[in-house]
Chain A
Amino acid sequence: MSTLSQKPLAERRAPQRPAPARPVAPALSVRDVRISDRTAGREIVRGVSFTLAPGRTVGIVGESGSGKTLTCRAALGILPPHFEITGGSVEIEGRDIGGLTPAEWTALRGATISAVFQDPASYLNPSIPVGRQVAEVVRIKKGAGRREARRQALELLRAVHLRDPELVYSQYVFELSGGMLQRVLIAAAVAADPHILIADEATTALDVTVQAEILDLLADLRERTDLALVVVSHDLAVVAQLCDEVLVMRRGEVVEQGPTEEVLHRPRHAYTRLLIAEHEQYGLERFRTAEEDA
């Protein structure tokens, strides 16, 4: 594990956005989390730490198999079978997730922490109109009546910039495009007003323009509701656009961690430099120069 990641995070705030006036309790704090595959007896994730305050964003970058998705799943309490947290701790709003009962998890998810994923079509039930799945969350998590849940769901669909929410509400997954589905998935994820949202490769399968729009939408939600965002991607550009802090992961280890602009400008690890070099020609420069100007 790199020594970098053990430095106190407060020292490395992104300067381009003002830090909160007074210190706020972290929404999510992950401390030296280790995850093992019980059947293979291997440690897959070897020590991940970060602290996330409300309204701020942390990005996790790495190739597939680097352990970034497992880390997120651990924070959501949905590790695949045979996987378990074997070290460290995860606290959601000061609450250690180690001792949570299934019922407590159910109460926590959706209302406090939620997530969106890659391939939104598969994360929505194909047999139920998408609007009803958003309304379902409002109804169950906020105890709203049917009519009220429908009204709020329509509002949510409008809030994620879907034109004609009334029509989308009654459509099925197979009738919508990937970009629209990701908006619906985000609407469902934030329906119960969570404080933390994990976006695991949420823009990966989308084409570039749609991807930019979804990232704008996430930023927009963050500003409006003081949402704490965890953005996971294999794509450095996505992280650069949105995050205050970046973790670069490789083979289960954090190889580099720090404020976004520092990692982008002064990468210390060879792997980070490689990632950046790969991106030079795909417009990452735009973000770097923009930040330099600011």
Chain B
Amino acid sequence: MVRRVLSLPSGRIAVCVLAVIALLAASGPLLAPQDPLAAGDTPLAAASGAHWLGTDYLGRDVLSRLLDGSRVSVLGSLEVALTALVVGVVPGILSVYLGRTFEWLTLRLADTLVALPFLLFAVAVVALLGNGITQAMLVTGVLVSPLFYRVSRAATLAVARSPYVEAALVSGAAIGWVVRRHVLAKVLPPIAVALAQTVGTGFVIVSSLTFLGIGVQPPAPTWGGLLASDLGYLGQRPWAPVAPALLIMVTVWACNVLADALRDVSGEAGRALLNSRRARAHRLDEADPAPAGGTR
């Protein structure tokens, strides 16, 4: 699957962008030309040789803060995605096998989580449970987990009803073995798509929370925090928000592109599961009557 994603141009671009971002997160603090916390004597300076992206209101180097802050964003969004993965997929697959009560309970829970405005909830929970990025991301991960629940449940249902799985069960195979052997193979592609999407969502959420100053204490640099501090000085440095904003957008975009590429290569089965509406059989072969009549 990895090879097939890389064979698509869009997949290659997305993977490259994400690799660069990951590299920044891993080595950003080392690459930072200056101490991201050291206040300088030239506040709100424009871009120059000494400060490639200028300085903020305390004279701190923006480039250094950006590089240093990338780690929080990347780790945070990965935390969101992995939490959502675990919290969503496990009950999603089990809901098909563990009986009606469990199914009903998890379905209601998923409905509930979907109905919650998750940014609002994340703000509330984080503020009440203590100011830490890890708690914030764990809570957010739980809140976005219904996506994984639905995707894995739909895929499992499709597989569980298929003749070969029934045959395996009838012939006495253990549920665990069936799940490992048959279900996972069908469930993994849609989950990979959901994972890529969720990492993108995670970026937006981490940035939003850090923008509000939630999860990370002020002097520590974050992408969202950079934007927040720029907001007060738009009059002096109107171009300041461009760099962090672009970084956030490009990352989110790359995640979405990767999700699309995964969907494209995961074949008809994966697409059908994510888009059951489109999967309806068209009754008239491939016929697509022109709306405006005429055969010319």
Contact = CB atoms under 8 A, between A and B. Distances in A.
B287 A100 contact: no
Interface in B261-296: 283, 286-290, 292-296
Contacts of A101: 294
Contacts, number: 30
Contacts of A84: 295-296
A85 interface: yes
A94 to B, nearest CB: 19
Interface string A76-87: 011111011100
B292 A77 contact: no
B288 A80 contact: yes
Contacts of A105: 293-294
A74 interface: yes
A46 interface: no
B286 to A, nearest CB: 7
A74 B283 CA distance: 19
B283 A119 contact: yes
A109 interface: yes
B218 to A, nearest CB: 55
Interface string B73-114: 000000000000000000000000000000000000000000
B293 A102 contact: yes
A11 B291 CA distance: 40
Contacts of B294: 77, 100-102, 105
A74 B295 contact: yes
Contacts of B289: 78, 80
The listed residue with most B CB atoms (<10 A of its CB), out of A77, A83, A84, A109, is: A77
A101 B294 CA distance: 7
A106 interface: yes
Given A80-B287, A106-B293, 12 more contacts: A74-B295, A77-B295, A78-B290, A78-B293, A78-B295, A79-B295, A81-B290, A84-B296, A102-B292, A105-B293, A119-B283, A122-B283
25 contacts: A77-B293, A77-B294, A77-B295, A78-B295, A79-B295, A80-B286, A80-B287, A80-B288, A80-B289, A81-B288, A83-B295, A84-B295, A84-B296, A85-B295, A100-B294, A101-B294, A102-B292, A102-B293, A102-B294, A105-B293, A105-B294, A106-B293, A109-B293, A119-B283, A122-B283
